[in-house]
Structure 1
């Protein structure tokens, strides 16, 4: 099926998925039915959509409606840690130093005796107590046991009403244990998210739209046990109908400054091979007479 729709001409009431056309439902089905989702380029080829921008806008409208405002917070035992998401950043010091990569917080429920429940992921401005505690307060229910490493910014969790289980990587190394095994849940989630971004989207995710991609990953991970893909399709449509319209201008807007336009070219002259003084050729003057 071929589409000639423009991303700016979507019906107002269906602006999330362009469900005013068959392509809108087809885009939503391809988005929900695939285990790992679909990239804008693949959607463009599958539905024979006229432009990449239209396919990109369709998918981002779907990503923008995946978070329910009234969704339940994580509860029980919850691991919390940070990771960097992005391309290679040569020369970046270790630890939590700032760079081109995006610092992202990860939280995941632990299920006894073994397994993981729901997860949450979101970029944060920095590794300060203000940023990390705000992420925990937004995503974890007070009274839950929050398991973190020994980073100092987490020390205020008990004052926020959480049971704080601090695990020191340095102490684990001194005991001869593997420091990476202290927080297996968040490390697993971070690894899966990075693999998904590289696999489905080839890592072509900028910082401005990373939250939307993380929302999609969380949506898929939390419903990984669903055997009926049609139910996921129904849930996405249900969320789209309940959500406010999302315009293309809001999706394409970015905080990164635009590159300055180059100055217009000046007066053009002849190339060096032709820019020569006129030679004295009297026979040409005679012929022209």
Structure 2
């Protein structure tokens, strides 16, 4: 016996189809996002946890769809530090400051970025293509190299700052431009990763509270999914619906 939900993101869900469709519409109707609390209010559902699971299953599906695509051509790379809850294992330890803080999660950000010939007034010097954001454990050279190999193909050029994390990229990339970048020049040299990090942080701060580090990737997946389909307009709902019936979601988490 097979149900309509079998083999889809809704597999074994007891929530009605209406909840899924309304949530898909809400998530795709705006550049911003919705917290699970707000979606629960919109749906009029009494319990929070099932709605929280629903939303995260949809975000994970967005990530699975984007995993099928890799970056190519000219690429900008930089790292971002996103505020998250302190891991349970670190709560008894003194709080570190700066980038090494336990309340900061490291994210590798990569964007296809092609130079624009004779840009018009107000136009960015580079034209952006697809975007990838991946939570990483550290900034070691091996971690960066493995991530770049996984997320790219047929790369012609990579632009980065002068961090030692990127020194070995030239070993498997035809051209690697690495330079010391002043803070006020980051927007000119690496414009799209800089804009993406800034916009993602702003949206998370305004919409969500106390993101757990283990779920940060789901929120980043939603941000990238919408960014990579920024010209789809109303068709975005249909594309998400196709993704939802294409993947059997295995998201499991006991909330609380």
Shorter-chain TM-score category? 0.7 to 0.9
1:39 and 2:42 correspond: no
Length-normalised TM-score, structure 1: 0.72
Point out where structure 1 has 5 or more consecutive residues left out of the alignment. Answer: 1-9, 259-289
Alpha carbons of structure 1 residues 50 and 14: separation in structure 2 relative to 1, 3 Å: farther
Corresponding residue for 2:242?
238
The secondary structure found in structure 2 opposite 1:166 is strand
CA RMSD of aligned residues (A): 2.8
Give the CA deviation at 1:98. 5.2
Higher RCO (CA 8 Å, separation ≥ 6 residues)? 2
Corresponding residue for 1:99?
102
Alpha carbons of structure 1 residues 137 and 162: separation in structure 2 relative to 1, 3 Å: farther
Give the CA deviation at 1:80. 0.3
1:73 to 67, 70, 75: 70
Higher alpha-carbon Rg: 1
Point out where structure 2 has 5 or more consecutive residues left out of the alignment. Answer: 87-93, 117-124
1:164 and 2:176 correspond: yes
Corresponding residue for 2:153?
141
1:224 and 2:226 correspond: no
Corresponding residue for 1:63?
59
Alpha carbons of structure 1 residues 15 and 184: separation in structure 2 relative to 1, 3 Å: closer
Distance in 2 separating the partners of 1:204 and 1:91: 16
1:237-274 CA distance string (max 9 Å, x none): 11111112435xx1347xxxx9xxxxxxxxxxxxxxxx
Give the CA deviation at 1:218. 0.3
Give the number of aligned pairs: 234
Corresponding residue for 1:211?
217
1:27-63 CA distance string (max 9 Å, x none): 2222222331221111111110121112111111101
Give the CA deviation at 1:178. 3.6
Length-normalised TM-score, structure 2: 0.80
More strand by share: 2
> Structure 1 residues 191-200 or 105-114, which shifts more?
105-114
